[in-house]
A = this chain, B = another copy of it.
Amino acid sequence: MEPLIIAGREFYSRLFTGTGKFSSTEMMENALLASGSELVTVALKRVEMDNKADDMLRHLSHPRINLLPNTSGVRTAKEAVYAAQLAREALETNWIKLEIHPDPRYLMPDPVETLLAAQELVKLGFVVLPYVHADPVLCKRLEDAGTAAVMPLGAPIGSNKGLKTFDFLEIIIAQSNIPVIVDAGIGSPSHAAQAMEMGASAVLVNTAIAVARNPVQMAAAFKAGVEAGRMAYEAGLPVSSQQAVASSPLIAFLDEA
């Protein structure tokens, strides 16, 4: 499989993960290692920034794992920019997952604040990966603003509903010149595989792994699902057709026997 390149960095895993909802940091560490993930989002809130021995960070300290701090919890572009700056200082990375969701119930991202923040953060030298609704025009404007990727949602965060935005993801992927990472809503390996099959560059999964009965095995399942989807995409999936086409010969062999 081809590596994925974001802002010049190569990734050999197309499964990005998060750190929320795990029952323990040990469980989190084991699941993330099983996932093979090379990019892991962390909420700044979870990190004790002045504590170098922070428990969560310690469990994320692996050569292959890159941290992607996110701005979860902010409600405006201004707050997002401030949060990103704090994160850069604390975690020593200029990568930032930009997420601005003013509504505490559905956690849907705000398109206007997100674009504003993205424009500002790009100017400030950040590598910006914005979490957005599956809005083709917004994704194009973010690309124009210089973001390193776009992260459209498949369904509401934590809903595990899959690719409810399928028709719009298709358009986004077709017209994007930067990586498209499907984020939110992916509840099973089949969802992840479907996103990869349609040409997404990567997926981000958190809830479905963290709350599984066996998070480590679920992480391995998602790893396999993402690889399955990507391999199929590269191998050339056939299109679906309306009519049946036999795999086996239909002429009754009995007549010919």
Is A108 within 8 A of B254, CB to CB? no
Is A253 within 8 A of B155, CB to CB? no
The distance in angstroms between the C-alpha atoms of A164 and B150, with both chains bound, is: 21
Task: Answer yes or no: A206 CB below 8 A from chain B CBs.
Answer: yes
Interface mask (A62-93 → B, CB under 8 Å = 1, otherwise 0): 00000000101111000100110010000000
| Chain B residue with the shortest CB-CB distance to A139 | B108
A42 to chain B minimum Cβ distance, whole angstroms, is: 8
In the complex this chain forms, how many copies of it are found?
A: 4
> With A156-B243, A159-B244, A160-B241 in contact, is A228–B222 under 8 Å at CB?
yes
| Chain B residue with the shortest CB-CB distance to A135 | B133
Chain B neighbourhood of A208, CB < 8 A: 237-238
Given contacts A162-B240, A218-B231, A224-B225, 18 further A-B contacts (CB under 8 A): A21-B247, A43-B253, A44-B253, A72-B246, A133-B138, A133-B168, A159-B241, A159-B243, A159-B244, A188-B229, A189-B197, A189-B225, A190-B225, A212-B235, A218-B235, A221-B231, A221-B232, A224-B224
